[in-house]
Amino acid sequence: MRHRRVAVLLAMFGLLSADARAHDWYPLECCSGQDCAPADSVERRPDGSYFVTARGLSAVIPPDYALWRKSPDGQIHVCIRRLRSGGEYLVCAFRGPGV
């Protein structure tokens, strides 16, 4: 019985640590544990900007956005926060080569 409890606890710890690793590389200044995610959709606009959606939130990344950070998996990731007023704003954006 004791071995079963230990196995269950280890399995639960493994699941929890897997979720934590998914957010491990996002810098603290970008993410409060829930703001960052891979982009669900990315639309490149004619003016060079990107309209990005993640976790049901959307933001526009301007064409002259100088704060791009390197994405370790080469994909676009964004950190978007919802304001109390209902608006949304971009905190950080990550991209890989060629994006």
The whole-number pLDDT of residue 68 equals 96
pLDDT tens string 35-45:
899 999 999 99
Six-digit token string for 23: 């957010």
Ranges of each domain in the chain: 27-95
pTM over 0.85: no
The whole-number pLDDT of residue 97 equals 80
81: phi > 0 → left, psi -120 to 50 → alpha, else beta; which? beta
8: phi > 0 → left, psi -120 to 50 → alpha, else beta; which? alpha
- When the pLDDT of each residue in the chain is averaged and rounded to a whole number, the result is 81
Fold assignment, 27-95: OB fold (Dihydrolipoamide Acetyltransferase, E2P) (2.40.50)
The whole-number pLDDT of residue 11 equals 43
